[in-house]
Homo-oligomer: A and B are copies of this chain.
């Protein structure tokens, strides 16, 4: 038995409604962030959905309102952490006008700042660990992340060859070799390296510098 004052009726109602709506729109993001943290940390199976929900500040039931199964949640995490990032990169590369060596260095730093050093970087380790159990996701990941990523590096190397800057015998294999230390870095940081005080982590900046130095000298014509 509640009597609304005219003031309440006008002012309070829309405000509250807005709050609710804002929560609802924020939920998926909050859930994905929580899930990303936990999946990366403990792996897929060892993560309990209830934990994810609690970390996102909602109840178990609410999670299932947004993602119908744990597996779908996992897929959404992978998708969300990556989509769009790569297109961004590609257009930047296209616009680059300096030497191919500089372009490669620029690409490496961009990747590190926008992916490798962020939570999204952990996805690589996650996929490494769970690909065997989720062929469907593995395919999705390879199509939408791995292949485009390799393609990007390959196109830089090709550009270097075309401009007479790089000398490369086996382009495909070399593409993999150039990318490998980057993947390795994020995998390490989110597995062994995450065991602080137990395993030594890799210092990213010196590592990235050494990587670029080695690669550029290794690729250089002459």
In chain A between 122 and 160, which residues have their CB closer than 8 angstroms to a CB of chain B? Answer: 125, 127-133, 135, 138-139, 141-142, 146-147
Docked-complex contact A198 and B132, CB < 8 angstroms: no
CA distance A68 to B109 in the complex (A): 48
Chain A residues packing against B (C-beta within 8 Å): 1-10, 41-46, 125, 127-133, 135, 138-139, 141-142, 146-147, 169-170, 172-174, 176-178, 180-181, 183-185, 187-188, 190-192, 194-195, 198-200, 202-203, 206-207, 209-211, 213-220
CA distance A81 to B6 in the complex (A): 44
Chain A to chain B: the 6 pairs with minimum beta-carbon distance, closest first: A218-B218, A45-B45, A129-B129, A173-B210, A5-B9, A214-B218
29 A-B pairs in the complex with CB atoms less than 8 angstroms apart? A3-B3, A4-B5, A5-B6, A42-B132, A44-B45, A125-B128, A131-B191, A131-B194, A131-B199, A132-B191, A132-B195, A135-B195, A138-B192, A139-B195, A142-B192, A142-B200, A146-B192, A173-B203, A173-B209, A174-B210, A176-B181, A176-B210, A177-B214, A180-B181, A181-B181, A187-B187, A214-B219, A216-B218, A217-B220
